[in-house]
Structure 1
Amino acid sequence: MPWFVKIESGVVDKTIFDQYVPAHKAFVQDLIAKGHQAKTGYWAKMGGGMLLFEADSMEEAQAIIALDPLVKNGCVNYQLYEWKIVVE
């Protein structure tokens, strides 16, 4: 299954953003339970973060990202890429 990465930057005040973090974590846990091998985190020295996950296609990846509470609630701008692994 291909890997995808959503690279994001926050666009709302941290107090608003933080309201949706628990729902985002639950969303990622659901992806893991469904076999998408998801990982999420944020950059240590700058705003923004990343979600890494497997999906069958770019279309499925886009549909998955559309359900992310951070996206649904307008907390982030993001770019979605298919990640081609060279060495495992």
Structure 2
Amino acid sequence: MLWFVKIEKGIVDKATFDRFVPAHKSYVQGLIDRGHEAKTGYWGERGGGMLLFKAESQAAAEAIVAQDPLVQNQCVIYELHEWHIVVS
């Protein structure tokens, strides 16, 4: 599987965003359970974050991101990139 990163920026107020965080965390746990090795977090200065995960292809990664509750509820805008590890 390939690594992908979704870099996101929040576009709604904090109260609205926070309503969907539990669903997002549950969604990411489901990705972990299905072998996508997902990790999620936010920037220290707030207002954005990142989701790192594995997928079979760009199309599969796009489908994964489309199901994220933060995306479905229009809480974030994002960029999706395939990530190539140089040193691990």
TM-score by length of 2: 0.98
Q: Which residue does 1:61 correspond to in 2? A: 61
Q: Give a deviation string over 1:40-80, Cα, whole Å, max 9, x none.
A: 00001242000000000000000000000000000000000
User: Equivalents in 1 of 2:7, 2:16: separation in Å?
Assistant: 19
In the aligned structure 1, how far is the partner of 2:80 from the partner of 2:63? 11
Map 1:29-40; keep pairs closer than 5 Å: 29-40=29-40
Looking at structure 1, the residues matched to 85 and 57 of structure 2 have their Cα atoms a distance apart, in angstroms, of 15
CA RMSD of aligned residues (A): 0.6
Identity in percent: 65
Partner of 1:65, secondary structure, is helix
3-state SS in 2 of match to 1:49: strand
Q: Distance in 2 between matches of 1:12 and 1:45?
A: 16
* Distance in structure 2 (CA, Å) of the matches to 1:42 and 1:75: 14
In 2, Cα distance between the equivalents of 1:30 and 1:46? 25
Kindly report structure 1 stretches of 4+ aligned residues shifted beyond 2 Å: none
